[in-house]
Structure 1
């Protein structure tokens, strides 16, 4: 830069060198602040969070902490006991669907050794076990 005020200068305040200037169409801050991504609302998670909230209730004169879903089930049982058939049907439906398989009567295999089988069923223990398995429908 010379001291001649009439000559236009190429580099200076507000005029960076041409080689280091931003290219057309290119941002000055390429990584920049990321845009906000709206969170998707998941109704199932919201419902689960509400049902799992604990609140204090008085049960038989004692204060207890229970989840809201537990309180809802207790109220459903009270309605069924008082004669609400809709509530009773719902409880029966849930019981058959969610109780453990043992409560539904699904057979449970029992494994025993040959010594115990001989003690329980005598000398013909193999024939007796085969008969019992055939009666219960167990595979051989």
Structure 2
């Protein structure tokens, strides 16, 4: 008799074949813990940076958000000559004047000029000419 014909071993850590794997049941029921969702971490940061803190601005004691206080401090450090603070302030500046104005819709004249340039390039490509 060969080993293939022998009935499978049953015993400690060797359950019977028919009950080893059950459909719809995980082999690791508790499983690995899921990571904290990113949204919770963002909410925590938002809560901390939205707290009101007292600050002196222009000789007056005012309450501002922690985010605004940090920007005020970065501005003060930048004006005092700290180049790293200035770089950080400009990097995080959401209202940077150097950014293109993407929110502004095109005027009719700008839109017409844009369409005309497109058609001119299209015509020159069809006739074999170079770009403008």
Q: TM-score under structure 1 normalisation? A: 0.43
Q: Highest CA radius of gyration, 1 or 2?
A: 1
- Greater RCO between the two (CA within 8 Å, min separation 6)? 2
Q: TM-score under structure 2 normalisation? A: 0.46
